[in-house]
Chains A and B, each alone.
Chain A
């Protein structure tokens, strides 16, 4: 019997395809994020995978100043499907990111030294910049 894929592996496989995936709990009637094997609202293990539209709103934002290197933003994004995740907003001055700003998902594939070692991860850009 093949080994089942972990929630993390399924999530990352979607990112490889350029998709932001999340789980849906039919028992709870709501989204679950981060992906897991048990629904935290009902205890059900019947969790479905869905692909998000990629649209969301900045819920919280900070700019972190590392000891070396440039400051960067860290945000919490509320996706339109009803789940929240940590990310960053690119293509913008980090201090210009505002709570309430509409943003759109873009997959980030680590390059340079990290290419191949680190899986892709979801970042966001201002929604209007995409149109």
Chain B
């Protein structure tokens, strides 16, 4: 992102709220606040240090007001950009800018959702589009399935290759005690699961859980001396291409091409130099698209790329090491969890699923129906 300084801002604290199916009566603001309290504890800062607030949820019309009131703070800088699941990667870039300009000194980025507890219909407003709604698209799956049909048609991508993404995510999830899914998964099981929108069965599609969390950010010069080693923001990039799937310029190429280009340029890194990938896997197709669009394999090769265990634990490329939206947690807007996992990998906190010598990581957020793309590249102090 033009104008941002490489390594100028850092993530100093990160934490999930309660996940899965949270206690009855907890609301999204409760989960944001719980995440913030835990993330502040993670770095040793306090609520009175927070003067920058970034948050998004589909369940509160003015979540910035609700969260400020709840926490008893009046933030000097506030940003409630909401662009779907990628919102939190946008927030990181916006927070880095605000910190660089001195508009705030300690920023928190927070998310909360109780979509499993209250039901998917209650968790977000149903929007009527007179040019799509008559055809009863089950959104978002129908839209992603349309994109998948093009990928299969143009490049020969198979349902088995899509299923390999779900199987890899499940293998990572089995190494993550916080993951929702606890049992192994095979390619035949993915293919035989309940069809939702061809070619996707329910196992090609993310979970429906509750959850939330927060990260704490400061300018790099304030990031040292806290409880944990800082994780620096090396690169940011963003691109918006459409809102509805009917208007996506090319169903096989996402805005991640552009967001990735910006982020790599700012970070001074190439895809081959990234150690850990956290890619927004709302659908199995996403992982394939983002591997291509972020430069890890040529366009059209993503299906073949994920075969043979390449992105599983012990494979050549660690992708979605927490188990992803497919098997770990997906409360509707998953982007914050990409950042939390990337931070933990770069700190070496991930136990059985830890990627050895991880120095750089990508957290790539996706929102809407492949509509908004935001790439954040993070690095340890050694990468500065």
Q: Given that A84-B246, A86-B132 are known contacts, is A65 also in contact with B195, CB under 8 Å in the complex? A: yes
Q: Which residue of B lies closest to A63 (CB)?
A: B198
Cβ A60 vs Cβ B131 within 8 A: no
Cβ B130 vs Cβ A64 within 8 A: no
Kindly list chain B residues whose C-beta atoms are within 8 Å of the C-beta of A64.
136-138, 141-142, 145, 196-198
Does A118 lie at the interface of the complex (its beta carbon under 8 Å from any beta carbon of B)?
yes
Cβ A60 vs Cβ B147 within 8 A: yes
Tally of A-B Cβ pairs under 8 angstroms: 77
Q: Which residue of A lies closest to B151 (CB)?
A: A60
Q: Which residue of A lies closest to B150 (CB)?
A: A60
Does B178 lie at the interface of the complex (its beta carbon under 8 Å from any beta carbon of A)?
no
Does B81 lie at the interface of the complex (its beta carbon under 8 Å from any beta carbon of A)?
no
Does B153 lie at the interface of the complex (its beta carbon under 8 Å from any beta carbon of A)?
yes
Kindly list chain A residues whose C-beta atoms are within 8 Å of the C-beta of B135.
74, 86-88, 121
Does A49 lie at the interface of the complex (its beta carbon under 8 Å from any beta carbon of B)?
no
Q: How far is the CA of A76 from the CA of B252 in the complex (A)?
A: 14
Q: Which residue of A lies closest to B200 (CB)?
A: A62
Kindly list chain A residues whose C-beta atoms are within 8 Å of the C-beta of B137.
64, 74, 86
Q: Given that A87-B135, A88-B135 are known contacts, is A76 also in contact with B197, CB under 8 Å in the complex? A: no
Does B191 lie at the interface of the complex (its beta carbon under 8 Å from any beta carbon of A)?
no
Contact residues, A7-52 vs B (CB, 8 A): 8, 12, 33-34
Q: Given that A60-B146, A65-B195, A99-B153 are known contacts, is A72 also in contact with B136, CB under 8 Å in the complex? A: yes
Q: How far is the CA of A8 from the CA of B196 in the complex (A)?
A: 31
Does B104 lie at the interface of the complex (its beta carbon under 8 Å from any beta carbon of A)?
no
Please classify how large the interface on chain B is, using the bins under 10, 10 to 19, 20 to 34, 35 or more. 20 to 34
Q: How far is the CA of A61 from the CA of B149 in the complex (A)?
A: 6
Q: Which residue of B lies closest to A94 (CB)?
A: B198
Please classify how large the interface on chain A is, using the bins under 10, 10 to 19, 20 to 34, 35 or more. 20 to 34
Cβ A99 vs Cβ B150 within 8 A: yes
Contact residues, B135-163 vs A (CB, 8 A): 135-138, 141-142, 145-150, 153
Does A95 lie at the interface of the complex (its beta carbon under 8 Å from any beta carbon of B)?
yes
Provide the A110-131 mask, 1 if CB < 8 A to any CB of B, else 0. Answer: 0000000011010000000000
Kindly list chain B residues whose C-beta atoms are within 8 Å of the C-beta of A85.
131, 246
Kindly list chain A residues whose C-beta atoms are within 8 Å of the C-beta of B153.
99
Does A59 lie at the interface of the complex (its beta carbon under 8 Å from any beta carbon of B)?
yes
Kindly list chain A residues whose C-beta atoms are within 8 Å of the C-beta of B197.
62-65, 74
Q: Indicate which residue in A71, A74, A86 contacts B131 across the interface (CB closer than 8 Å).
A: A86
Cβ A76 vs Cβ B245 within 8 A: yes
Q: How far is the CA of A124 from the CA of B20 in the complex (A)?
A: 43
Kindly list chain B residues whose C-beta atoms are within 8 Å of the C-beta of A62.
142, 145-146, 148-149, 197-199
Q: How far is the CA of A33 from the CA of B242 in the complex (A)?
A: 13
Cβ A34 vs Cβ B149 within 8 A: no
Q: Which residue of A lies closest to B252 (CB)?
A: A60
Provide the B206-226 mask, 1 if CB < 8 A to any CB of A, else 0. Answer: 000000000000000000000
Cβ B145 vs Cβ A86 within 8 A: no
5 additional contacts (CB under 8 A) given A59-B150, A66-B138, A121-B134: A59-B251, A76-B246, A86-B132, A86-B245, A108-B134
- By a beta-carbon cutoff of 8 Å, the part of chain B in contact with chain A is 130-132, 134-138, 141-142, 145-150, 153, 194-199, 244-247, 251
20 A-B pairs with CB atoms under 8 Å apart are: A33-B131, A34-B131, A34-B247, A61-B149, A62-B145, A62-B146, A62-B149, A64-B198, A65-B196, A66-B136, A66-B138, A74-B146, A74-B197, A76-B251, A85-B131, A86-B244, A99-B149, A99-B150, A99-B153, A121-B134
